Each structure stands twice: as structure tokens, then as C-alpha cells.
Amino acid sequence: MNRWTWALGKGLKAVLGLLVLILGMAGFFAVPASVATYPVVLPKGGAPRWARGAFHVHTTRSDGQGTPAQVAVAAKAAGLDFVILTDHNDFELRPPEYVQGVLLVHGVEISTSDGHLVAFGMSRPLEGVRPWMPPGDAVRAVANAGGMAVLAHPVQKRNPWKDDASARQTPGFELYSADTFFRQATRHPMSRLLPAVGASLASPKHGVMLLVAPEPEPGARFLELSREEPRVAFCAHDAHGLPPYRAVFESLAMYLQPEQVPLPLPADPVEAAARVTRTLGSGAALCAFRALGEPEGFKLEGLNAERREARVGEVLSVVLPGLPEAGSTRVEVWGSGRLRPDGTSIELTAPGVVQVEVWVAAPGRFFGTEWRPWLVPSPVRVLPRGPGI
């Protein structure tokens, strides 16, 4: 045996040893995953079910692993009513359709020179749109086509939105992104990625939820832009098939209240798509990390719901859905408001914007809990104090 053969053998043994170690560690995280309990907040019952769907999903038309039909199968298995498909630079204006009883609405994710822009709800073709075009031109093209533009993963390390002027012209903002959570985890392979992979061996849903580790930058940028003009908050699946579509669909969804979009959806896919996209673009939709609990019964009281605004000195009240255990939920407040000692009411303190979310103590990487977002509405605009307040 020469020294090169000996060195090669030693190298292979080292690699195999490392793989065995990694698999063993992954298996270690499968044990607590097997007893992780979802949902965390149990439903009360009685409230009508809200329409729910996936936003920002890729198929084999770009870099996704599943065909539109396969995505529909996964969405049906996850109990979704609609899916907004947004393949990269797929500019064909396709009509909406029902597949497996799930409404598929065709949008697009535009690759501009300064970031990615999700567009949906267009009533006319996108004129003059091409890959790597200037971002401001893309935002205007979407508006001219009657669509809704959303900044995709705008502060993601890998592919952020870099143009400030066009960001201030874009009404939608991906506040949370499943794909960004996954990319964040790859930057922390031992503390985040490995536990999620190991947990997925026993519970794919738990594996996805372990990736949910919000960072402060998206929220700070969102509030900064929202102070100028009302913005719409989106939770994006940005699903490509890894993690599996169904596991991601079962972990979070965009929800439409029955006052805006009652179930069942209209049988005509064009009419159904118009209702869904109009509500998503209005700011009336709610993001929920549904693995933690369904949102039916949630309310944010004390505001003009149609305009999503209130005044300095007024108080917003959070009505929680379900039956949370004491200490298992908390209300988070950012911007122009402060949480009162009762833990569920927010005093509006200054003109601007306030973001209110509900977080839950969810199953952690081992046997403890970690705080994660659960209910994420769009922000409330805070107007100057009115007469008599």
C-alpha cells in the first residue's frame, strides 16, 4: 500500500465517520420531535372557517420541484383553498383554475436588477417586463397591469431589495418568508439546520417550525416604509418543494375572513381569484403560523377596520382565538404603541404606524419551548389625536 492509497483510505474513513456523527446527531433531534404537540392553541369551535392559502409558490415552470398539479395535490392534503403561484419570470398571463378543488392563481416573481418582486392579480398583460429590468420600471408595470406588487424577501442576506426609491413605491412587503428562514438556518448549520433536519425525520411540520427564527431587520425595514404609506404584510411560503410543499403549507398560511371571502369559494375561478387577490392586496388578510393554531376568532378591535387606522390616545384590543394556556401566548408591539399591563390592549402613543402580533411558546429543539410568531396582521396607521381624545 503506497502512501496515497493510505491517505485516501484515512480520508474516506474520516468522511464516513463525520457522516455517521451528523446522522446520529440528527437522530437525536428526532426524539423530542416525536412527542412535540401541535397545535399549541386549541380551537374553541363555533367560528366559521376562514379561507386559507399559500402565497409565493414555485413549480417546475421555474426552479420548483413540483408541477402545478402536484402543488395542488399537496395544497389539498394540507387543507388549503387557494395557492398563488409565482414562478420566476413567467410573464404569461394565465387564467386562474381549479385543480384538485384548489384554486390556482397565477402570478410571477420578477427578477429585477435590484431584487425580486412578486406580482399577482394582474387584469392585463405585463407590458415591457423582462428579467433584470430596473426595479422602479417593474413596480410601475405591475401597477399598470392592475396587479399588486410585493417586495420578495427584501432584507434577505442572499438576495435583498437594494433600491430604496422603488421600495417606497411598492405596497406589499414579505415580513416573514419560509425560504428566508431556511437560508438563515444554513448559516447556522449546527444550531438551526441540523435540529430541523433531525426533527423532520419524525415530524416534518415540527422540522419546518424549527426553522422559524425571526430576525429584527425585516420588521425594522417594514415599519420604516409603513410610516410613509400604509403597507400590506405578507407571510411568504416561497416554497420550492424543499422542505416538502405539504409540510410548509401545513405550517403557515394567509387567511381571509369570511366577511371578505366566504366559503365555499365561487365556482367560477375568475370570480374566486378576483375575491382572493383583492382581499390579499387590501391588507385585510391575516398571516397565521397555522401549525401553532388556527386563527378563527382573532380580532384587533378599536380601529377603523376598512381603513386599518386609529388615532393617538385610542386603545386597540387583541381578541385571542382558541383556548391558550396561561403564559403560552404574548402580544408583541412595535412602532407607535405600547402594551398595557393587561397584556392584550395597546395604547396608541404617536402618529405613525403600529405593528401588533401574537406569539406563542412553541415546541423547541429539545424538550423546552421557544417563542415564535403565530398571528401576523398588517399594520395599523396611527393618525394624530382627534377632538375629545
Torsions phi, psi of 232, nearest 5?
A: -110, 125
Domains of the chain: 51-295 (3.20.20.140)
Q: What is the largest CA-CA distance in the chain?
A: 93
Q: How far apart are CA 81 and CA 352, in angstroms?
A: 35
pLDDT < 50 positions in the chain: 6-9, 11-24
Q: Name 358's Cβ contacts closer than 8 Å, sequence gap at least 6.
A: 298, 318, 320, 329, 330, 331, 332, 373, 374, 375
Q: What's this model's pTM, rounded to 2 decimal places? A: 0.91
Tell me the per-residue pLDDT of 260-290, one tens digit each, with 9 for 90 and over: 999 999 999 999 999 999 999 999 999 999 9
Quick one: pLDDT at residue 385?
A: 86
- Give every CB contact of residue 335 below 8 A, 6+ residues apart in sequence: 223, 226, 227, 352, 353, 354, 355, 379, 382
- Confidence (pLDDT) at 7: 46
pLDDT at position 158, please? Answer: 85
pLDDT at residue 174 in the model:
97
For 33, 39, 339, the CA distances from 42, given in Å and listed in that order, are 19, 6, 25
HEC readout, 198-221? HHHHHCHHHHHHHCCCCCHHHHHH
